[in-house]
Amino acid sequence: MTKNIADYLGSPASSLLQTTPFKDWSVEKSFEEDIDVPIIHYVFQRHGLELRCDRDDKISVIFLYSDEFDGFDESLFEIPFSWGRDQVLEHFGSPSKSGGKVSDPILGNYGAWDRFTLPGHVVHFEYRANFDGIKKITLMCKDMVP
């Protein structure tokens, strides 16, 4: 892959769906229309990739999952899921926002997280609750940051 996955943020979903390797991957498309701002989802179940698009089908959020799907593809982003929090911080520097581990009696345990504001987008790392490693990477257009 010559293009970084983050470079697709703000682009039409078709620009990603028509390129290698994505064009050869099985994808499930769904719609959330019963909310104020409709969302189009593309889920690549076997590759740990999910796209969230706006009503115009432009990619606004990209989720990379380490193990919540059938498999994952670490080649999609420059940071491997095996990295711990210290390695992420060393690579990106000081985060723009962070949070510690959370243990909720209903929702369970959540690992710490860090968010970094980069020149073209925002990247959010959610770490595992039970050991030092990345659970999920979220890439967002800056206007999508909660």
Domain annotation for the chain: domains and CATH numbers: 5-144 (3.40.33.10)
Q: Which of 20-29, 70-79, 91-100, 116-125 has the lowest mean pLDDT?
A: 70-79
- Give this prediction's pTM: 0.89
Per-residue confidence (pLDDT) for residue 45, from 0 to 100:
85
Q: What is the three-class DSSP state of 3?
A: coil
Query: Where residue 33 falls among pLDDT bands split at 50, 70, 90?
Result: confident
Beta bridge partners of 42: 29, 51
Dump the DSSP string for 110-135: E--EEEEE-SS-EEEEEE-SSSSSEE
